[in-house]
């Protein structure tokens, strides 16, 4: 089975800190995605990547950046964390559109 591993399940950070959320997949998938999930708003796409060093903005990229230096790793960076970035963050990977996504367990980030 494909595994998508997110480095932290729960994270608490202070306003203004730089925050790194790490995601690693072990099945050589080309495509990787970062979503945030908030009550009543569903899943919102932040960034995605279809190849090493490639990235595309999703629907809500403001305040975030990403890095994909290796195929298996896709990092989400909050340059200066703010309280409105308190959320559940979900990473996913896929090979093709017919496969669907495989999701990690999520990171619940609280910014205080």
Partner 1 sequence: AQSVTQLDSQVPVFEEAPVELRCNYSSSVSVYLFWYVQYPNQGLQLLLKYLSGSTLVKGINGFEAEFNKSQTSFHLRKPSVHISDTAEYFCAVSDPGSARQLTFGSGTQLTVLP
Binding site for partner 1 (CB under 8 A): 4, 9, 31, 33, 40-43, 45, 48, 50, 56, 58, 90, 92, 94, 97-98, 100-106, 108
| Beta bridge pairs of residue 12 | 110
Q: Which is nearer to partner 1, 17 or 46 (CB)?
A: 46
CB of 82 to partner 1, least distance (A): 23
Tell me whether residue 55 or residue 75 sits nearer to partner 1 (CB atom): 55
Q: How far apart are CB 46 and partner 1 at their closest, in Å?
A: 11
Contact 27, 96 (CB under 8 A): no
Question: In terms of CB distance, is 40 or 83 closer to partner 1?
Answer: 40
């Amino acid at each position: 089975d494909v595994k998508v591993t997110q480095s932290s399940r729960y994270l608490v950070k202070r306003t203004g800190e730089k925050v790194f959320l790490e995601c690693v997949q072990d099945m050589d998938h080309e495509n990787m995605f970062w979503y945030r999930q908030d009550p009543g708003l569903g899943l919102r796409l932040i960034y995605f990547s279809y190849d090493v060093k490639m990235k595309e903005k999703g629907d809500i990229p403001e305040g975030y950046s990403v890095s994909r230096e290796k195929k298996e790793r896709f990092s989400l960076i909050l340059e200066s964390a703010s309280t409105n970035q308190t959320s559940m963050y979900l990473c996913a990977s896929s090979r093709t559109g017919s496969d669907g996504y495989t999701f990690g367990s999520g990171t619940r980030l609280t910014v205080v």
